[in-house]
Amino acid sequence: MLSMTETNADFGTTSEMTESDDSVISQATDARLVDEARRGNTDSFGQLAQRYERRVLKVIRRFMPDQELAMDLAQDAFLKAFDRLEQFDPSRRFGPWLFRIAVNTTYDYLRKIKRKGKWALFSEAGEDRIPDPEAVDPRKDLDLSHEVRTVLEELPESYRTVMVLRDLEGFSTSEVAAVTERSEATIRWRLAEARRMFKDAWERRQRKIEEEQLG
């Protein structure tokens, strides 16, 4: 009989196996619900919406600070997904397809209001790769959250998306590739570039703020 150590060495940790099993089960459930929804079962699509609604809203809030507006965009994304179910490739995962619709719906709205002269920024950031706006900031007068949103807004759209999904939302590289319909190699390159651009823009902005405070 294999010992626990030997088993883990061959197949990974118990937690990793559990997460993998959960992922497989989740994908199988998604596939069944999608199939039923495509056959006209609206209750099945409702179950899909319940499975993803919190995560979809959370992703949209990364781009859209207004909670009510983000909820409207999330609802719009689910309606689009329902209307386009016949276009969905059942050999692929439902989640990335849904998130792609949600991200595109949000960007479409941001472009629309930007053309009207309004300004929309990211809501927050996280991880150690970019400053956490919820962390205690010694500069009491500086709204760190606003600074992060302002800097993120400077990044080109394709790079922002990769950074938000990978660094802020914790999507895997393969998941980001599926959402954006790009290769994993492209995602890794864009992520590295996005981090570099964010770092440079952040440092420039902080120098400007310090100069203004001193001047």
Q: What is the pLDDT of residues 174-206, one digit of tens each?
A: 999 999 999 999 999 999 999 999 999 989 888
Q: Is residue 8 one of the residues assigned to a domain?
A: no
Does the predicted model carry a pTM greater than 0.85?
no
**pLDDT per residue over 58-67, tens digit each?**
999 988 888 9
Q: Is residue 167 one of the residues assigned to a domain?
A: yes
Helix 14-38 crosses helix 42-63 at what angle (to 10 degrees)? 120
What is residue 87's DSSP assignment? Answer: G
Q: What is the CATH number of the domain that holds 192?
A: 1.10.10.10
How many structural domains is the chain composed of? 1
Neighbours of 184 (CB within 10 A): 14
Please give the distance of CA 46 from its chain centroid, rounded to a whole number: 22
pLDDT at 15: 40
**Stretch 74-87: mean pLDDT, rounded?**
96
Q: Is residue 174 one of the residues assigned to a domain?
A: yes
Q: Is residue 67 one of the residues assigned to a domain?
A: yes
> Residue 132 region, left (φ>0) first, then alpha (ψ -120 to 50), else beta?
beta
Q: Is residue 7 one of the residues assigned to a domain?
A: no
Taking all residues of the chain, what is their mean pLDDT, rounded to a whole number? 79
Query: By C-alpha distance, which of 149, 99, 87 is closest to 107?
Result: 99
- Domain range for 210 is 52-214
pLDDT at 24: 57
